[in-house]
Chain A
Amino acid sequence: MAPSNIVSIRELSKVYQQGEINVTALNRISLDIQTGEFLALMGPSGSGKSTLLHILAGIDRPTGGTCHVQGIDLAQLNESDLADWRNQNVGFVFQTFNLIPVLTAFENVELPLLLTQMSGRHRRQQVSTALALVGLDDRQHHLPRQLSGGQEQRVAIARALVTDPSLVVADEPTGNLDSHSAQEVLTILQSLSRTAGKTVIMVTHDPKAAAYGSRSVHLEKGELADS
């Protein structure tokens, strides 16, 4: 594995069993992703791009092949270690934002830090910094329902960044946003890669969104089409 690769996938397969039928979501994929890259995973529905994202983010397990992230073979980690690893190394951005509706923007961003040993003061500083990074320091005490879609997604990005992970995964982050908000979110993700050196992997249908990335990878029927 090259030292500059944060992700190294070899012969990766994922087969789902639906009753007596086996459905192949990923078929022997090999892929390297460099540190600091902004990779767009593209492809039609059912091509396996979300499955690939889930596996390299450590929330799903492959049925074949290997997936090394930061040199760690994720298949070798048990559930508990994998949870710790996700908390420390991966930031998640979802299409539907997935903020906790009863928590304010500040509390939503603070949530992953509850698992750390950080002091309350340090935590608050970290959250404020993350919210400032996405331009929402004036919306700290707003509940998700009091924010626009774009603002909600920016809170979700702040939540993904607050633990200072090396890998940010985004599953159709602009799918529920208007074009202006989508542009704002994509700009933030791009700057994370360019200025903060984070590796961003984004699943998207939209070629315009993919254009913000440094590289695009196309999946079709569970296989890499080109790269």
Chain B
Amino acid sequence: MTTLTFITKNALRNKRRALLCILSVAVSLFLLVTLLVALREVTVPPEDIGAALRVVVRNKISFTNPLPARQRAVIERIPGVAAVSPFSWFGGKYKNEEMMTFGQFAMDPKLIRPIFGEAKMPEEQYQAFEADQTACIIGKLTAEKYQLKIGDRLPLTSIIYPCSIELKIAGIYEGTIDDRNALFHHKYLDEAGGSDGWVGMWWVKVRSIEEMPRVTDSINRAFANSSAEVRAETERAFQLSFVSMWGNIKILVHSICSVVVFTLMLVTASTMSMAIRERFRELAVLKALGFRRRELFAFILAESFGLAAVGAVLGIGAAWVFYTQISIAKLTQGIFITFEVTPKIIGQAALVAASLGIVASIAPSIAVARTSVVDGLRTLD
């Protein structure tokens, strides 16, 4: 018999309780990982491969304020700029839906490939889209969700522009980090909705990463002190500015995480206390046989740590397998896109489990250390 055998036999002496403890740790850590992944997805939005070279230019006052279309020529002349496209959020409801379930953006159809190169679509679909002013392309997720196919009509009623439009689906793309959006001709929006002369934002492709700081700075300076001052920033910075609006959600999720961890600690500590209390007499016998306090503490710690570790492997492992294997975008109807269980999150959850194992062993260890051999031997079984 090794010390490990002894610890394992003790940990599993009440199999049902050990199993319930392991399951409670596993389920709680699964929940914790889920919350942390959800929080990460909300606060650190997924990034497209091409995002590093994209600059978003919006009205300095607010992104809800439009920008004059004449700015395009000025931006295009800035050295380092490869392409500039208007990018206006249409805010359309599909058919009779109560809420908007996917984004629709009007842009320059010829610049989709230069700016959003990661969107994969057959060449003939690109050509069909560029050729027809009423055409649009939609992401694969939206197409699957509404069972749309090429040639179908996409009626949209805007909550921003005083108009309704009907688009013809010319292509279905995939390969972006969020394959949900619909893209259509800005010219069509201009003619249909009276946005002529105005755009929502500018989406700019820069030639190289080295030129990014200079280009954003130049764009900002180009319109300084004008009637429509702009704020140019990287796509990443633009996304994160949205995230700052999620402040309360972050606090809420953090609070839930804290409650989960605290509850988990109570459950584990209670299980360990029960397990040790009913073995008080045996631990006193071990003391009489020559085992020292530190060795008994090591036994209790190893047992507690072991239960937490098995629970952690099950819970974190299940979360990792589950979120890797399933299509979270489909499951959540596009609310979450990647839902990636990162090594950092695995590390955080493992750290919680380890702390749990240690904390749960403290109270029983102190009780064992404080009890003399004679008092321990008097304990009833």
Specify which of A102, A112, A115 lies most central, judged by the most chain B CB atoms within 10 Å of its CB. Answer: A102
**Distance between Cα atoms of A88 and B3 in the complex (Å):** 19
Point out the residue from B3, B12, B374 that lies within 8 Å of A60, measured CB to CB.
B374
Within 8 A of A (CB), among B5-21: 5-6, 9-10, 12-13
On whether A83 and B3 interact (CB within 8 A), knowing A54-B374, A59-B374, A102-B10, the answer reads no
**Distance between Cα atoms of A218 and B372 in the complex (Å):** 26
B327 to chain A, nearest CB (A): 46
B289 touches A111 (CB 8 A): yes
**Distance between Cα atoms of A101 and B285 in the complex (Å):** 13
A227 within 8 A of B: no
For residue B293, which residues in chain A have a CB less than 8 angstroms away from its CB?
Answer: 79-80
A79 touches B286 (CB 8 A): no
A100 touches B282 (CB 8 A): yes
**Distance between Cα atoms of A84 and B281 in the complex (Å):** 20
For residue B13, which residues in chain A have a CB less than 8 angstroms away from its CB?
Answer: 101-102
B9 touches A86 (CB 8 A): no
For residue A92, which residues in chain B have a CB less than 8 angstroms away from its CB?
Answer: 285, 288-289
B1-41 interface code vs A (CB 8 A; 1 in, 0 out): 10101100110110000000000000000000000000000
B288 touches A103 (CB 8 A): no
**Chain B, interface size: which category?**
20 to 34
B63 within 8 A of A: no
B287-303 interface code vs A (CB 8 A; 1 in, 0 out): 11111110100000000
Point out the residue from A96, A102, A115 that lies within 8 Å of B291, measured CB to CB.
A115
**In the complex, residue of chain B having the shortest beta-carbon distance to the beta carbon of A171:** B377
A83 touches B287 (CB 8 A): yes
Point out the residue from A57, A60, A100 that lies within 8 Å of B372, measured CB to CB.
A60
B269 within 8 A of A: no
For residue B372, which residues in chain A have a CB less than 8 angstroms away from its CB?
Answer: 59-60
For residue A103, which residues in chain B have a CB less than 8 angstroms away from its CB?
Answer: 1, 6, 9
A99 to chain B, nearest CB (A): 9
For residue B5, which residues in chain A have a CB less than 8 angstroms away from its CB?
Answer: 107
A148 within 8 A of B: no
**Chain B interface secondary structure, helix, strand, loop or mixed?**
helix
For residue A2, which residues in chain B have a CB less than 8 angstroms away from its CB?
Answer: none
**Chain A interface secondary structure, helix, strand, loop or mixed?**
helix
A70-96 interface code vs B (CB 8 A; 1 in, 0 out): 000000000110011011100010101
A98 within 8 A of B: yes
B345 to chain A, nearest CB (A): 37
For residue A159, which residues in chain B have a CB less than 8 angstroms away from its CB?
Answer: 289
B292 touches A80 (CB 8 A): yes
**Distance between Cα atoms of A87 and B288 in the complex (Å):** 8
For residue A223, which residues in chain B have a CB less than 8 angstroms away from its CB?
Answer: none
For residue B9, which residues in chain A have a CB less than 8 angstroms away from its CB?
Answer: 102-103
On whether A88 and B290 interact (CB within 8 A), knowing A102-B10, A103-B6, the answer reads yes
A23 within 8 A of B: no
B373 within 8 A of A: yes
B282 touches A114 (CB 8 A): no
For residue A84, which residues in chain B have a CB less than 8 angstroms away from its CB?
Answer: 290, 292
**Distance between Cα atoms of A159 and B9 in the complex (Å):** 19
Point out the residue from A79, A98, A100, A112 that lies within 8 Å of B292, measured CB to CB.
A79
On whether A114 and B1 interact (CB within 8 A), knowing A86-B288, A88-B290, A92-B288, the answer reads yes
Within 8 A of A (CB), among B241-277: none
A172 within 8 A of B: no
**Distance between Cα atoms of A194 and B224 in the complex (Å):** 107
**In the complex, residue of chain B having the shortest beta-carbon distance to the beta carbon of A84:** B290
For residue B374, which residues in chain A have a CB less than 8 angstroms away from its CB?
Answer: 54, 59-60
**In the complex, residue of chain B having the shortest beta-carbon distance to the beta carbon of A92:** B288
A37 within 8 A of B: no
A59 touches B373 (CB 8 A): yes
Within 8 A of A (CB), among B140-164: none
**Distance between Cα atoms of A159 and B282 in the complex (Å):** 14
A110 within 8 A of B: yes
**In the complex, residue of chain B having the shortest beta-carbon distance to the beta carbon of A91:** B289
A148 to chain B, nearest CB (A): 18
On whether A87 and B289 interact (CB within 8 A), knowing A54-B374, A60-B372, the answer reads yes
For residue A57, which residues in chain B have a CB less than 8 angstroms away from its CB?
Answer: 288
14 A-B pairs with CB atoms under 8 Å apart are: A54-B373, A80-B292, A83-B291, A84-B290, A84-B292, A86-B290, A87-B289, A100-B282, A100-B285, A102-B12, A103-B1, A107-B1, A107-B5, A112-B289
- Which residues of B approach A to under 8 Å, CB–CB? 1, 3, 5-6, 9-10, 12-13, 281-282, 285-293, 295, 372-374, 377, 381
**Lowest 10 CB-CB distances: which A-B pairs, in order?**
A87-B290, A59-B373, A102-B9, A98-B285, A107-B1, A83-B292, A102-B13, A112-B289, A86-B290, A60-B374
